[in-house]
Copies of this chain bind each other. A is one copy, B any other.
Amino acid sequence: MNKVVECVPNFSEGKNKLIINQIYKSAKSVKSVKVFELEYNKDHNRMLFTIVGEPEAVLSSVFSAIKKATELIDMNKHLGEHPRIGATDVVPFVPVSGIIMEECVALSNKLAKKVAEELKIPVFMYEASAKRQDYRNLADIRVGQFEGFKEKLKTPDYGPNKIHPTAGAIVIGARKYLIAFNVNLDTKDINIAKEIAKKIREKDGGLKAVRALGFEVDGMAQISMNLVDFEKTNFDVAYNAVKMEAEKLGVKIKNSEIYGMIPLESLVQAIKTTFKADNFTEDQILEKKLYE
């Protein structure tokens, strides 16, 4: 492939397997892309998967999934722990190889126009595609969530000035690779998770390019992180920061979870830092040689 782009759409359904599968199958209807790593979580009531391929094919694939989610998900009935504004909640394009951020921004705008015109859903552009500084951060756009948007919609970048009655609104954009990384604590006390999340997230003066929230998942307190630029803060650094804060509060880490896909480079960087393996490179990985 010449230009490779990745797209990781998030949808507000994590319980009903029939709906989950139908959305996933719609993305797969475009044969020239790879669609994989379907993940869903019933507490978050949310699903996501990864599409990888050439830009136009990825656009067709994700549009097909958005259309299906618009048909099948009614946000008026949606309950879940994770913040969300729509049936299709957020659609990021990520440059993988042979493609620069600006091309991903152009691709995100093309999708946004199509969603606005054909599905009548208001679209907010975020991250590298943001048209306004106050829409740059996903968390800022989502304030008020679906319920709040029903009352009063913020001004969208594309589409109607009114929320879609069942599908809500959508955030679309282009960004760097995002690593979803959760750390589970050896306690049920969600307040401890919230306190640690606050200590380590960038918004409150913590680690660069780290978003973090405290949840209770499966009876455990969890710090759920999005590492939005692993070249600035990789998962090993985030893990050690959580560990240090947890120790101060007399709590231990139970385990951690890399959620979804991760670029090889992030693993290599974590190995280099943790074991001071200064000269280690991706090219030393045997499997990589076999595919060259």
Residues of A within 8 A of B (CB): 4, 6, 34, 36-37, 50, 52, 96, 235-236, 239, 253-258, 260-264, 267-268, 270-271, 274-280, 284-292
Contacts and interface: CB of A to CB of B under 8 A. Distances in A.
B288 A287 contact: yes
A261 B239 contact: no
Contacts of A261: 284-286, 289
A272 to B, nearest CB: 9
Nearest to A239: B275
Given A239-B275, A258-B277, A275-B236, A286 B253 contact: no
B257 A290 contact: no
Contact of A291 (B36, B270, B291): B291
Copies of this chain in its oligomeric complex: 2
A107 to B, nearest CB: 18
A268 to B, nearest CB: 8
Contacts of A276: 253-256
Contacts of A271: 258, 267, 270-271
A221 to B, nearest CB: 15
A256 B276 CA distance: 6
Given A262-B284, A262-B286, 10 more contacts: A6-B286, A34-B289, A34-B290, A235-B275, A255-B278, A257-B279, A258-B284, A262-B285, A270-B271, A287-B288
A285 B270 contact: no
A287 B97 CA distance: 11
